Amino acid sequence: MVLQDGATYTFSQVLEPNLETEEILANLGYRCRSAPLQLQSKEVPRLAPQVEQMRAQMRERLPFVPMTNEATVRAFYVTPLLFAALDEVRFKMNIGYAVTGGRLSGTVDYLLRGRNDLVVAGVLNEDLARGFGKLAVQMVALSEQLAMPTVEPVHPRRARKAHRSGPARGGAAGVERVKGVRTQIFGLITAGPVWQFGLLERGRKRITIDKEEFLLPRDAAKLVGIIAGLLGESEQDKVMREGERLSWANS
């Protein structure tokens, strides 16, 4: 399938030909590779009892919950794990996030927005090698949407200063400014008990599939730690954010 310039496609249209992930991404202008990812993890000792309880409940309940559709898989495996990470660090959790405006349009299963953007996609009764194509399409669609020009409001005091200084002195002509775009997006594909990370690098037009796979309920603590590490603020981020807040208050 060759994507036509200026045309838009739904996720299902891109995935319908049942191509391998490498072929799907080639059609989207991306390369694909498999390599170890250096994923920052966060220690979560405070949540150890909660995570251990979640693991025990998964083991006890699994025989009584038929995994017959994606909604069941998400309710049983995905949402509890993501909420556990949310209890450790604060991030915005979008469920069923609509993506439009680029070449691709559709609904991203989960979009987690914190220090990084993390796309989580679920597949049912598929091996991850083929299911990764769904995650890759959602990551590319989000990347294209985020690359579109957007604006964010400027504090009224800064806006007044900008108007007084004027464009000739480096001031802005309006009260909005273009918002920065992140250069990478993380991904996480799950087939229920089996999970695997990915990384989209916008500049290199490349998606990397992590070589390591995680298994629930065994690796629940590891998964929560990595998600918290990707989305939570580092100490350097906290210092920068505090400096920006003080600068904003004094402007």
Which residue, among 219, 250, 239, has the nearest Cα to 84 in the 3D structure?
219
Rg (CA), the chain: 21
pLDDT > 90: what percent of the chain?
Answer: 57
Mean pLDDT of 80-98: 95
pLDDT for the residue numbered 32: 94
Query: 104 near 134, Cβ under 8 Å?
Result: no
Q: Which of 90-104, 156-170, 182-196, 199-213 has the lowest average pLDDT?
A: 156-170
Q: How many CB atoms lie within 10 A of CB 118?
A: 24
> Are the CB atoms for 89 and 237 separated by under 8 Å?
no
The predicted pLDDT at position 250 comes to 52
Rounded alpha-carbon distances, angstroms, from residue 194 to 100, 129, 144, 199: 29, 12, 28, 17
| Pair type for strands 194-201 and 206-215 | antiparallel
**Amino acid, res. 47:** L
Phi, psi of 30, rounded to the nearest 5 degrees: -115, 155
Whether residue 139 is predicted with pLDDT greater than 70 in this model: the reply is yes
User: Residues 130-155: what's their mean pLDDT?
Assistant: 80
Over the stretch 99-129, which tens digit does the pLDDT of each residue have?
Answer: 988 899 999 999 999 999 999 999 876 667 7
Q: Answer yes or no: pTM beyond 0.85.
A: no
What tokens were used for 95?
């469920």
Dihedral through CA 26, CA 17, CA 198, CA 122, nearest 10? 160
Q: 166-180, pLDDT tens digit by residue?
A: 443 333 443 333 355
Q: Six-digit token pair at 111?
A: 């979009």
